[in-house]
Chain A
Amino acid sequence: MDFLLISTVKVVIILLVILTVVANLVYVERKISAFIQNRIGPNRVGPWGLLQSPADVLKLFIKEDIVPAKANKFIHTLAPVISIFVALVTFAVVPFGDTVDLFGHQVKLMIADVNIGVLYILALTSLGVYGVALSGWSSNNKYSLLGGLRSSAQLISYELSMGLSIIGVIMIAGTLQLDRIVELQRGFAWNALFTPIGFITFVVASFAETNRLPFDLPEAEPELVGGYHTEYSGMKFGTFFLAEYANMITSSALIVTLFLGGWQFPFLDRLGFSPLWISIIQVLTFVTKVAVTLFFFMWIRWTIPRFRYDQLMNLGWKVMLPLALLNLVVTGGLLLGGAYDTLYELIT
């Protein structure tokens, strides 16, 4: 009973937080893009334009929901649901803090403490392609179909290098449990320092997984009108939009968890805070790290132009995959040579 209650509370809190953050990320992205282009950005709705996102969401709710003639109505409705489902559910295994004592309960600050967390993530991120591909197919529109096809090809090519670059982390940590992986990254023993190649390939692959620039070919406006969501309107379109940003949050959280030390604040235990304060600082550390990664996502988007399709495939298969394999070999060699153990002693 206790377990059920605590889990439900955690799920509700995290869902609420993510959905609010997602809505406001749109505002943040518009502001950042404006600043990069020497503009001011939204500033009319509410103070500093802060009410822009609620206004946009309201507008999307009021708009007419159009399903094109001859479209497969069931799948057309199902596709955005799959997209947002995958984006939100992946967050279940991400640890955002250490175990806390709350009201006499030992509460682990993650929703589901799965011992195969990494596998769970890989499985769900590959499900994400169904949302995009099905929406493209069910719309009965050639541009949507092309967008859906592109995204499936892209996701398949980049999932390989993504999975392979995670293996480096698993080899070092020796576990698939995400909270254990974070625990091992004490001090500055971040996996990004141990497997730099794996870190880079994982970040690039997450850009491709989230369909963000420079890999946003599934919705390349100049070529495909709107890509897979051309035929969507109203809140169904809004759901795709939310899914994109939720995916960004999840990817950032994964990058932070796997490579940037998760909720670990370097040498926090030596500063002598009370346990409650330590937990709060750890959660804040996680939030800050994710925020910085999110800023990086947006910064990249407004800097780098989109790849051509053949460049995308070349990069995926001829550069990323060999690099990820090389990362495996190098990590394995260093692990055998015992280099990590000495390094680990030095840093922590």
Chain B
Amino acid sequence: MNGEKKKQIRGKDLTLWQRTYIPEIMKGMALTFKQILRPKFTRQYPEERWNPPPSYRGRPVLVEEDGVERCVACGLCARVCPALAIEVQGAETDLEKERYPEKFEINMLRCIFCGFCEEACPEEAIVMSDEYELVFTNPEDAIFGKEKLLMSTDRLKTRLEFLRKAR
């Protein structure tokens, strides 16, 4: 570290007392006993949940604003997805944005939570949420359609603010 080479200690350098192991054993015992009295790190998970920071990449969701998704079905997310988890089918609409996704599916068994879709999205329409509990009992349930993916802006507020700051 500071340029000085630490001298290597060999068995023959030790005194007889040190060679009996006893001082080191006592040091170790003192250490473990101290640990008994220290506070515990365990989190009681199902009761005591972890709230991820805004930088956390949970499951990807579609941002819902005024009851409609922001997505314009450009397909960039599907293009950039390295795991080929996203499938988008666009259609036309009378709304200002002119196009909307008729079908938007993410296969959560394929998703690797890389966040590329979020980065690629020009509309800030797909973002990573703070949800980390994903359980399904068969492969069909793992394909999340629009109804499961939509999440309101209120719920995603911290993430959206974080993204604006980061960009």
Closest residue of B by beta carbon distance from A43: B44
Check if A299 sits within 8 Å of B32, measured CB to CB. Answer: yes
Which of A39, A40, A299, A304 has a CB less than 8 Å from the CB of B33?
A299
Residues of B with C-beta under 8 A to A38: 35, 38-41
Q: In whole angstroms, what is the CA distance A299 to B32 when docked?
A: 8
Q: In whole angstroms, what is the CA distance A38 to B31 when docked?
A: 12
Interface range on chain B (Cβ under 8 Å from partner):
10 to 19
Residues of A with C-beta under 8 A to B38: 38
Min CB distance B70 to A, Å, is 43
| Pairs A–B under 8 Å by Cβ, sample size 10 | A32-B36, A36-B35, A37-B35, A38-B38, A38-B39, A38-B41, A40-B42, A300-B29, A303-B29, A304-B28
Q: In whole angstroms, what is the CA distance A40 to B44 when docked?
A: 9
Classify the secondary structure of B's interface with A: helix
Q: In whole angstroms, what is the CA distance A38 to B34 when docked?
A: 10
**B134 in the interface, Cβ–Cβ < 8 Å?**
no
Min CB distance A83 to B, Å, is 29
Check if A36 sits within 8 Å of B36, measured CB to CB. Answer: yes
Q: In whole angstroms, what is the CA distance A32 to B38 when docked?
A: 13
**B135 in the interface, Cβ–Cβ < 8 Å?**
no
Please provide the chain A residues from 96 to 124 with a CB less than 8 Å away from any CB of chain B in the complex: none
Apart from A36-B36, A303-B28, list 6 A-B contacts with CB within 8 A: A35-B36, A38-B38, A299-B32, A302-B32, A303-B31, A303-B32
Please provide the chain B residues from 21 to 67 with a CB less than 8 Å away from any CB of chain A in the complex: 25, 28-29, 31-33, 35-36, 38-42
Min CB distance A44 to B, Å, is 10
Min CB distance B17 to A, Å, is 14
Closest residue of B by beta carbon distance from A296: B29
Check if B25 sits within 8 Å of A304, measured CB to CB. Answer: yes
Closest residue of B by beta carbon distance from A32: B36
Classify the secondary structure of A's interface with B: loop
Check if B41 sits within 8 Å of A36, measured CB to CB. Answer: no
Q: In whole angstroms, what is the CA distance A300 to B29 when docked?
A: 7
Residues of B with C-beta under 8 A to A299: 29, 32-33
Interfacial residues, chain B to chain A (CB-CB below 8 A) = 25, 28-29, 31-33, 35-36, 38-42
Interface string of A274-305 (1 = CB under 8 A from B): 00000000000000000000000001101110
Residues of B with C-beta under 8 A to A300: 29
Residues of A with C-beta under 8 A to B42: 39-40
Q: Which of B32, B39, B40 has the most CB of A within 10 A?
A: B32
Q: In whole angstroms, what is the CA distance A336 to B69 when docked?
A: 97
Closest residue of B by beta carbon distance from A301: B32
| A-B pairs with lowest CB-CB distance, top 5 | A40-B42, A35-B36, A303-B32, A303-B28, A36-B32
Q: In whole angstroms, what is the CA distance A39 to B36 when docked?
A: 9
Check if B40 sits within 8 Å of A40, measured CB to CB. Answer: yes
Residues of B with C-beta under 8 A to A40: 40, 42
Q: In whole angstroms, what is the CA distance A304 to B31 when docked?
A: 11
Closest residue of A by beta carbon distance from B28: A303
Min CB distance B151 to A, Å, is 33
Closest residue of A by beta carbon distance from B39: A38
Q: In whole angstroms, what is the CA distance A32 to B33 when docked?
A: 10
Closest residue of B by beta carbon distance from A315: B21
Residues of B with C-beta under 8 A to A304: 25, 28
Residues of A with C-beta under 8 A to B36: 32, 35-36
Q: In whole angstroms, what is the CA distance A38 to B36 when docked?
A: 7
Closest residue of A by beta carbon distance from B24: A304
Q: A300-B29, A303-B29 are in contact. Are A35 and B35 (CB under 8 A)?
A: yes
Residues of A with C-beta under 8 A to B39: 38
Closest residue of A by beta carbon distance from B30: A303
Residues of B with C-beta under 8 A to A37: 35
Check if B25 sits within 8 Å of A39, measured CB to CB. Answer: no
Residues of B with C-beta under 8 A to A303: 25, 28-29, 31-32
Please provide the chain A residues from 260 to 281 with a CB less than 8 Å away from any CB of chain B in the complex: none
Min CB distance B153 to A, Å, is 39
Interface string of A31-57 (1 = CB under 8 A from B): 010011111100000000000000000
Min CB distance A29 to B, Å, is 13
Interface string of A301-329 (1 = CB under 8 A from B): 01110000000000000000000000000
